[in-house]
């Protein structure tokens, strides 16, 4: 396992410094958007583990995003937990739910799994509205979350603080993912994707690895949901409809399947392209979105990350005589 | 004509002109005050609309309002200032609403928010706008919670509130059918309970006696047939139907097909002929009642109404791609007129405080597209602009107004 080479390490460090400087040069509203991008990036990374690395298509990850968001909201609103404590709990809850959902669902292959997860995504808003849960979930009215203040010594605004809080989690999640995906487990995941029978023959416990992948993927998405909910300060069933699940999948594919950095590109895409589409046409924003989507897929079939990798390789080849 | 009269007329005109010049000077001397989003030439308003997503049918409200303000600007604006309505898509998704509203408030710095659409979307920004002290005006939703000046002094709804609607039904029943045995079906969420509360408050002490049966359903239920049969079994002769369109259609059909045929009071949410009554079968809906507070352009009695002609001319000139049969286009125009009135009343004091103060200072404001005799009133402790409505009955082809204008004093 070769570690990061020095050039990459420098690049990551520079990016991190830029990320830290960002909230001081843009307004609070933009900081808020950047926070959402970071939260989406974590969610996309989670989905990418499942879809990109492990080859399982999920059309229902919005459901885990919702569970994470609601877990955080309920913990803060009903149990009075501090916001920072809700992230690991949301992640853990989603891990368990994802693992349990994964056990039976993973007997389903390919498209059938996609449909099963799709059903979960479709059902989630209705489950959240269910009368039996209304005491906790607030029914269709949702739950309002109090926005956390920055600790006084920092002198930051609420939005800046939340940005750094989210950024810290991004670092944690990406370092863990990087280690996971580069190691034994990551290789097993990819092997299952490419050659399931060969992987099994090599002694990989396919069903366990698949279930675990599903669980970890849900954990990431759930934690992202919690971070997103704290930034938005509100959760409601209408926030987590099936389009969220589809949007997440779009983000993964546009960013680049089986690519860690792709999560950021995908997150930027799903955060900003709808706004741009709305500015181009009020009559058919989704048509514009669709056109952009097709254009991206046509020009960069391996996603933005794949495109950049290709471009870099080509440049390097040209530089060498 | 008598020359002296003309002379007097001239003299009066001169005096008037002098007076006007004086007043103008006075106004100029009284320096104009501007909050964020307002200047000597422009007033910025912001809104979120579902141009995409599940509720995109309502997006036309935002478009008609932009067209309306274009017309206002073509005619010189309001007190000489052009209106710039920044209308953004939120896809009916609350997190997107939060994002877009933050953009409007923090980046575009609008003077006020106007007609943000949807109960969940507005719930998501309720706290934020009140903390930021941004006028959050004339929301396009019927929830009663928007009229709470004590706790949320920066938010004011527009639509006839669900509770007011319920009260109007109750009031009518108390007067015209005091021995009614009432069965109620309501959607088991905040909207359903909101209307139900209005009905019960309206009936007051008589509620316990008059309401013989209540039933609920969940939005997720496939059908409400069994609920209708339960209600029928109670021996009720009046059916208050608090349902959303899909269930409204089912209720109309089942209440007729089961042979119950009660007096059917259908709440306004499900009063659409196209999406509820036609699917249910119009012959089954004959005699159903609902409320209404503005003129229906599809109702032949308003065909030559001057306000209606004016609206049609506007649609032809400024919003040709809009559907003139779609009620949302009339509604959007009407609410934009109310906003115009509020801004007119602000004069040269265009601070957020004054916008809110003037929004809460509509006095006997009449609009020709509202039903005859209706007026809008608000006050520092009354954040419900629409508190009157009239009942209408379904004839088999259209809704027909009957009785007189009714008002609710409490909400």
Q: Could you tell me the CATH number of the domain that includes residue B54?
A: 3.40.50.2300
Tell me: the pLDDT tens digits for B148-196?
999 999 999 999 999 999 999 999 999 999 999 999 999 888 889 999 9
**Smallest Cα distance from B106 to chain A, Å:** 6
Confidence of residue B407 (pLDDT cuts 50, 70, 90): confident
* B111 shares its domain with B64: yes
Residue B20's pLDDT is: 54
Residue A218 lies in a domain: yes
Q: DSSP string covering B277-336, please? A: IHHH-GGGSTT-EEEE-B--TTSGGGTT-HHHHHHHHHHHHH-TTS-TT-HHHHHHHHHH
Residue B16's pLDDT is: 54
* B203 shares its domain with B342: no
* B51 shares its domain with B124: yes
Count other Cβ atoms within 10 Å, centred on residue B52.
25
* Mean pLDDT value of segment B94-104: 93
Residue B8 clears pLDDT 80, i.e. is over it: no
Residue A212 lies in a domain: yes
* B270 shares its domain with B191: yes
CB-CB under 8 Å, B93 with A282:
no
- Whole-number average pLDDT of chain B: 90
A196 to chain B, any CB pair closer than 8 A? The answer is no
**Smallest Cα distance from B92 to chain A, Å:** 8
Residue B225 lies in a domain: yes
Residue B22 lies in a domain: no
Residue B97 lies in a domain: yes
A65 to chain B, any CB pair closer than 8 A? The answer is no
Instruction: Report the number of distinct structural domains present in chain A.
Output: 1
Instruction: Report the number of distinct structural domains present in chain B.
Output: 2
CB-CB under 8 Å, A27 with B98:
no
Q: Which residues in chain A have Cβ-Cβ distances shorter than 8 Å to B151? A: none
The beta strands (E) that lie in A188-284 are given as 234-235
Residue A174 lies in a domain: yes
CB-CB under 8 Å, B93 with A243:
yes
Residue B51 lies in a domain: yes
Residue A101 lies in a domain: yes
Closest CA to A116 of A193, A206, A214, A40: A214
Q: Which residues in chain B have Cβ-Cβ distances shorter than 8 Å to A236? A: 94, 120, 123-124
Give the range of the structural domain holding residue A47, as residue numbers without chain letter: 6-319
B188 to chain A, any CB pair closer than 8 A? The answer is yes
Helix (H, G, I), strand (E, B) or coil at A195: coil
CB-CB under 8 Å, B91 with A232:
no
Residue B402's pLDDT is: 92
Tell me: the pLDDT tens digits for B335-387?
999 999 999 999 999 999 999 999 999 999 999 999 999 999 999 999 999 99
Residue A3's pLDDT is: 54
Q: What global pTM score does this model have?
A: 0.83
Residue A1's pLDDT is: 39
What gap in Å lies between CA B196 and CA B213, rounded to an integer? 13
Residue A278's pLDDT is: 87
Residues with Cβ < 8 Å from A276, sequence gap 6 or more? A288, A292
- Residue A257 belongs to a domain with what CATH number? 1.10.3470
Helix (H, G, I), strand (E, B) or coil at A5: coil
Residue B24 lies in a domain: no
Residue A233 lies in a domain: yes
* Mean pLDDT value of segment B2-24: 52
* B144 shares its domain with B167: no
* B205 shares its domain with B285: yes
* B129 shares its domain with B234: no
* B275 shares its domain with B403: yes
Residue B6's pLDDT is: 47
What gap in Å lies between CA A52 and CA B86, rounded to an integer? 40
Residue B247 lies in a domain: yes
Tell me: the pLDDT tens digits for B257-312?
999 999 999 999 898 888 889 889 999 999 999 999 999 888 888 999 999 999 99
B87 to chain A, any CB pair closer than 8 A? The answer is yes
Query: Using DSSP, how many helices (H) and how many strands (E) does chain B show?
Result: 13, 14
Q: Could you give the C-alpha distances from B377 to B36, B140, B381, B407, in angstroms and in order?
A: 27, 17, 11, 12
Do residues A45 and A219 make contact, with C-beta atoms less than 8 angstroms apart?
A: no
Residue B311 lies in a domain: yes
Q: Which residues in chain A have Cβ-Cβ distances shorter than 8 Å to B89? A: 274, 277-278, 282, 285
Residue A40's pLDDT is: 97
* Mean pLDDT value of segment B303-329: 94
> Which of B59, B92, B321 has the CB atom closest to A238's CB atom?
B92
Residue A21 lies in a domain: yes
**Smallest Cα distance from B51 to chain A, Å:** 6
* B156 shares its domain with B171: no
Divide the 321 residues of chain A into consecutive groups of 10 and give the mean pLDDT of each group.
Answer: 71 92 92 96 96 92 96 93 95 95 79 91 89 82 86 89 96 94 91 91 89 94 96 90 93 93 95 91 86 93 92 85 61
Helix (H, G, I), strand (E, B) or coil at A7: helix
Residue B348 lies in a domain: yes
CB-CB under 8 Å, A274 with B91:
yes
* B57 shares its domain with B143: yes
Residue B409's pLDDT is: 66
* B175 shares its domain with B147: no
CB-CB under 8 Å, A234 with B98:
yes
What gap in Å lies between CA B376 and CA A122, rounded to an integer? 42
Optimal mutation site among A33, A124, A140, interface B, most CBs of chain B within 10 A: A140
Do residues A46 and A112 make contact, with C-beta atoms less than 8 angstroms apart?
A: no
Residue B268 per-residue DSSP state: G
* B175 shares its domain with B287: yes
What gap in Å lies between CA B109 and CA B266, rounded to an integer? 42
Confidence of residue B19 (pLDDT cuts 50, 70, 90): low
Give the range of the structural domain holding residue B403, as residue numbers without chain letter: 163-292+392-407
Residue A198 lies in a domain: yes
Residue B100 clears pLDDT 60, i.e. is over it: yes
Closest CA to A139 of B200, B120, B106, B363: B120
B95 to chain A, any CB pair closer than 8 A? The answer is yes
> ipTM of this predicted complex?
0.82
């Amino acid at each position: 396992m070769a570690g990061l080479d020095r050039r990459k390490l420098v690049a990551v460090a520079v990016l991190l410094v830029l990320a830290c400087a960002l909230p001081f040069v843009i307004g609070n509203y933009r900081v808020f958007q950047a926070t959402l991008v970071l939260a989406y990036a974590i969610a996309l990374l989670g989905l990418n583990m499942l879809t990109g690395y492990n080859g399982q298509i999920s059309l229902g990850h919005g459901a885990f995003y919702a569970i994470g968001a609601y877990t955080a909201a309920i913990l803060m609103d009903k149990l009075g937990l501090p916001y920072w404590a809700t992230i690991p709990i949301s992640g853990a809850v989603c891990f368990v739910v994802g693992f349990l959902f994964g056990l039976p669902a993973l007997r389903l292959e390919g498209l059938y799994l996609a449909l099963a997860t799709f059903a979960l995504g479709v059902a989630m808003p209705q489950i959240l509205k269910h009368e039996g849960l209304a005491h906790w979930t607030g029914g269709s009215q949702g739950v309002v979350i109090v926005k956390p203040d920055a600790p006084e010594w920092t002198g930051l605004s609420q939005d800046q603080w939340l940005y750094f809080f989210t950024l810290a989690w991004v670092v944690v999640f990406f370092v863990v993912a990087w280690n996971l995906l580069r190691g034994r487990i990551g290789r097993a995941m990819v092997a299952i994707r490419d050659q399931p029978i060969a992987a099994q023959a090599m002694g990989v416990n396919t069903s366990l690895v698949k279930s675990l992948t599903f669980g970890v993927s849900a954990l990431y998405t759930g934690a992202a949901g919690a971070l997103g909910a704290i930034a938005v300060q509100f959760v409601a069933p209408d926030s987590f409809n099936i389009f969220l699940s589809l949007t997440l999948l779009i983000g993964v594919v546009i960013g680049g399947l089986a690519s860690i950095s792709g999560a950021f590109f995908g997150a930027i895409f799903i955060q900003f392209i709808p706004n741009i589409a709305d500015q181009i046409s009020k009559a058919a924003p989704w048509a514009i979105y669709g056109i952009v989507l097709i254009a991206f897929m046509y020009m960069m079939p391996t996603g933005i990350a794949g495109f950049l990798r290709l471009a870099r390789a080509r440049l390097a080849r040209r530089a060498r005589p | 004509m008598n020359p002296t009269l003309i002379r007097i007329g001239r003299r009066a005109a001169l005096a008037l002109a002098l007076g006007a010049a004086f007043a103008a000077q006075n106004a100029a001397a009284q320096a104009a005050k501007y909050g964020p989003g307002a200047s000597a030439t422009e007033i910025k308003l912001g809104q979120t609309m579902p141009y995409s997503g599940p509720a995109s049918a309502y997006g036309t409200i935002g478009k008609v309002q932009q067209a309306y303000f274009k017309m206002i600007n073509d005619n010189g604006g309001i007190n000489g200032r052009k209106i710039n309505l920044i209308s953004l898509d939120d896809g009916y998704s609350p997190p997107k609403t939060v994002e877009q509203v933050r953009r409007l408030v923090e980046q575009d710095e609008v003077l006020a928010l106007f007609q943000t659409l949807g109960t969940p979307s507005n719930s998501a920004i309720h706290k934020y706008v009140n903390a930021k002290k941004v006028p959050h005006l004339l929301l396009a939703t019927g929830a009663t919670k928007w009229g709470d000046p004590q706790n949320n002094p920066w938010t004011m709804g527009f639509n006839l509130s669900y509770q007011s609607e319920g009260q109007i039904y109750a009031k009518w029943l108390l007067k015209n059918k005091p021995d009614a045995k009432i069965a109620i079906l309501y959607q088991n969420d905040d909207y359903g309970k909101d209307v139900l509360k209005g009905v019960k408050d309206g009936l007051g002490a008589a509620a316990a006696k008059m309401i013989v049966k209540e039933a609920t359903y969940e939005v997720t239920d496939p059908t409400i047939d069994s609920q209708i049969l339960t209600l029928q079994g109670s021996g009720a002769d009046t059916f208050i139907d608090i349902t959303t369109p899909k269930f409204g259609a089912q209720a109309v059909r089942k209440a007729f097909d089961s042979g119950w045929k009660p007096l059917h009071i259908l709440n306004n949410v499900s009063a659409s002929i196209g999406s509820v009554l036609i699917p249910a079968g119009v012959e089954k809906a004959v005699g159903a009642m609902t409320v209404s507070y503005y003129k229906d352009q599809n109702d032949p009695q308003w065909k030559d109404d001057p306000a209606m002609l004016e609206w049609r001319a506007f649609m032809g000139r400024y919003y040709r791609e809009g559907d003139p049969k779609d009620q949302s286009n009339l509604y959007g125009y009407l609410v934009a007129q109310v906003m115009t009135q509020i801004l007119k009343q602000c004069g040269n004091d265009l601070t957020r405080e004054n916008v809110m103060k003037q929004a809460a200072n509509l006095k006997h404001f009449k609009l020709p597209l509202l039903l005859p005799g209706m007026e809008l009133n608000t006050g520092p402790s009354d954040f419900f602009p629409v508190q009157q409505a009239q009942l209408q009955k379904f004839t088999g082809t259209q809704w027909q107004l009957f009785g007189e204008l009714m008002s609710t004093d409490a909400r």
